[in-house]
Amino acid sequence: MNLFISNKTKKYAFLTAVIMLFTFTGFALLQAREMIDTMPEYKSETIKLPEPVQGSNTSIEEALLKRRSIRSYKDSSLTLAEVSQLLWAAQGITSPRGLRTAPSAGAIYPLEVYVVAGNVDDLPDGVYRYNPYKHELVRVAEGDKRTELCNAALGQTSVRNAAAVIVFSAVYERTTIKYGDRGIQYVYMETGHAAQNVFLQTVPLNLRTVVIGAFYGDKVKKVLKMSDREHPLYIMPVGRIK
Ligand SMILES: Cc1cc2nc3c(=O)[nH]c(=O)nc-3n(C[C@H](O)[C@H](O)[C@H](O)COP(=O)(O)O)c2cc1C
């Protein structure tokens, strides 16, 4: 038996080991990612949203100039097209690779976006989760939940009086699996990016909003039936200018 292994054989063995290691690690990461990404299954309807438009008469400068935290709104409904536009601004997909309107560390996208609808044309009152991949809403709960959400937000009346309320939550593990504890900061930064997009998008639509950070997280989670892995981060009531 030849006990000497040629250099060529050693090279092949090393390459095979490296390939196997990459394959195994990649597979393990994919599995972990899949577990983290799985959202609760709602045996409920989905609502296709109107296509977002990509033009308006408002310049980016005008949107920046007019962005203001407004907490009281006209008692008037939003259209489904307006809700669609706001959700697209928040997390809409803008490239064939699946990249979105807001930047995301490692393009991992830890954010989930909800709409609590109370006065939206062609949308029954309820809680909906936005699916950016299909640009549609998935119903999570039925009925007007604005008062419950207002109570969870320390009674801030802007939440109860808005026609619809956008809520951002995050699954931290999607980002921390790659970036460790630093991923938590990244998630907060991303929420700010997405919320500012919504803020700016309200201007050409003649809508107004405010970002709300003061709320009881556990109560918000309950109202929106969030999974254990999700953490609410921002609440944005939206309504028409008075
Ligand atoms: C992290 C954060 C949390 C906030 N939380 C609340 C809140 O709970 N309720 C509220 O009415 N406004 C809240 N605001 C809005 C600020 O009060 C508002 O941005 C500030 O007064 C400046 O006004 P402007 O946004 O019109 O420029 C929050 C803003 C930030 C950035």
Looking at residue 40, what is its pLDDT? 56
Same-domain status, 97 and 169:
yes
pLDDT in tens, 8-31: 666 766 666 666 655 545 544 444
Looking at residue 89, what is its pLDDT? 98
Same-domain status, 100 and 210:
yes
Nearest CA to ligand 1 atom 3: 213
Looking at residue 185, what is its pLDDT? 98
Over the chain, what is the mean pLDDT? 90
99: Cβ contacts below 8 Å, ≥ 6 apart: 93, 107
pLDDT in tens, 113-133: 999 999 999 999 999 999 999
Which ligand 1 atom is nearest residue 68's CA? 26
Which ligand 1 atom is nearest residue 214's CA? 8
Which range of residues forms the domain containing residue 10?
1-38
Q: In angstroms, what CA-CA distances link 2 with 5, 6, 13, 14, 27?
A: 8, 10, 17, 20, 37
Same-domain status, 197 and 116:
yes
Looking at residue 42, what is its pLDDT? 53
Looking at residue 32, what is its pLDDT? 47
Same-domain status, 25 and 145:
no
Q: What's the CA-to-centroid distance between 70 and ligand 1, angstroms?
A: 9
Q: What's the CA-to-centroid distance between 221 and ligand 1, angstroms?
A: 21
Looking at residue 28, what is its pLDDT? 47
Question: Which helix (H) or strand (E) covers residue 146, if one does?
Answer: helix 146-152
Same-domain status, 81 and 15:
no
Same-domain status, 26 and 126:
no
Looking at residue 183, what is its pLDDT? 98
- What is the chain's alpha carbon radius of gyration, rounded to the nearest angstrom? 22
Instruction: Residue 81: give its domain's CATH number.
Output: 3.40.109.10
